[in-house]
Amino acid sequence: MRSLRLAFLLTFSLASFVATLVAQDLPPQPKKAARVCVATVENASTTSAFVERMTERLARSLKQDKIDAVIMESRSTDKQPLELSSDNGDEAQQKECDYVLLSQIRDPKQHPFEPQPPQISIGGRVPSVDASDTRGGPTGPVYHDNLQVYFALYRFGRFKPVLDTYVLETPSSNVSNTLLYAMDHEANRVGHELKKH
């Protein structure tokens, strides 16, 4: 009888120990998806761009990457470095966002005295190879200057960005479409960063 009781206790102890080990090996339960407030893109260049369309494209690209993205009414700043404004903070709090994404189009030639990130250029500017580029004409190819799309991702309540970088785009004759592709690149980079956190 005593050995039966001992065997029962030993089996029960071993079963609870194994259950604890199995529970530790299970992957953590998925946490609530982070909500990202997307501030309206700011155009700090002289190149015309449909910033509302770009903002919508950015939010849609984030949603395709399974990120809960919400478009904000407030705009990104036109200054460098990109920083949250009080309007951004207030709206992000109202919309219960975990992150705020700021985006800005800049032409490096318009801001020659501001610090520029390093850029690799081999052989000078690249001519447009866009078949729809009608500005080439008989004089030869058209050269387009690069535009930079800066973006910064802030965790709500923090003053230092989680991500602060840029995408370099060489516009074709249809600058708006080129910048839409830049929004896709930005969304991919933000999605990659959010997966780390």
Asked if the bond preceding 81 is cis, omega within 30° of 0, the reply is yes
**In this structure, is residue 133 part of a structural domain?**
no
- CATH code, 149: 3.40.50.10070
pLDDT reported for residue 25: 44
Assigned token pair, 29 = 């339960």
First-to-final CA distance of the chain: 56
**In this structure, is residue 77 part of a structural domain?**
yes
**In this structure, is residue 177 part of a structural domain?**
yes
Q: What is the pLDDT of residues 54-79, one digit of tens each?
A: 999 999 999 999 999 999 999 999 99
Q: Can you spell out the DSSP letters for 24-65? A: HHSPPPPPPPPEEEEEEPEE-SSS---HHHHHHHHHHHHHHT
**In this structure, is residue 137 part of a structural domain?**
no
pLDDT reported for residue 26: 39
Q: With a cut of 50, which residues of the chain have pLDDT below it?
A: 17-18, 21-31, 118-125, 128-130, 133, 135-136, 143
Assigned token pair, 26 = 């299970």
**In this structure, is residue 88 part of a structural domain?**
yes
Q: Which domain holds residue 75?
A: 31-112+143-197
**In this structure, is residue 80 part of a structural domain?**
yes
Assigned token pair, 141 = 């190819």
